[in-house]
């Protein structure tokens, strides 16, 4: 039960839904998420952590970067079904399209270089 609540809670936030929609396009490091959603570094990192804790996302280190990706084999629980729901949702939502657009221009370079 606690687990199920955690899973839904992870999805009950616009930032995290946007992150998942971006990760459904392709895996990203934190700085790419920052650029795609145009949000701060701590906000990106924290919300990625919440998604990981809920089982939607896995991470691996790649040099300096932490690469986050949808955890496809996390088919254990309800997570897989919810990812499918998300995959079919918000297909024409404006902000999602913008995020995707910015993602396509994002580069794997850190927050220091982005200078906000």
Shorter beta-carbon distance to DNA: residue 102 or 110 = 110
87 makes contact, choosing from a second copy, DNA, none, with CB < 5 to 8 Å by partner type, with none
Return the bridge partners of 57, or none. 70
Applying CB under 8 A, the span of 33-41, 64-72, 88-96, 99-107 interacting with a second copy comes to: 88-96
Please state, in angstroms and rounded to a whole number, the distance separating the CA atoms of residues 37 and 98.
8
User: How many Å apart are CA 87 and CA 108, to the nearest integer?
Assistant: 25
* Binding at 53: pick from DNA, a second copy, none (beta carbon under 5-8 Å per type): none
């Amino acid at each position: 039960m606690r687990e199920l609540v955690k899973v839904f809670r992870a999805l009950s936030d616009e930032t995290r839904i946007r992150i998942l929609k971006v990760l459904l396009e392709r895996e990203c490091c934190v700085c790419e998420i920052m650029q795609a959603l145009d949000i701060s570094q701590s906000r990106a990192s924290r919300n990625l952590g919440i998604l990981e804790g809920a089982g939607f996302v896995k991470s691996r280190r790649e040099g300096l970067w932490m690469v986050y990706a949808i955890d496809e084999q996390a088919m254990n629980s309800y997570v897989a079904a919810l990812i499918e729901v998300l995959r079919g949702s918000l297909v024409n939502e404006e902000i999602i399209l913008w995020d995707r657009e910015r993602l396509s221009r994002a580069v794997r370079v850190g927050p220091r270089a982005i200078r906000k």
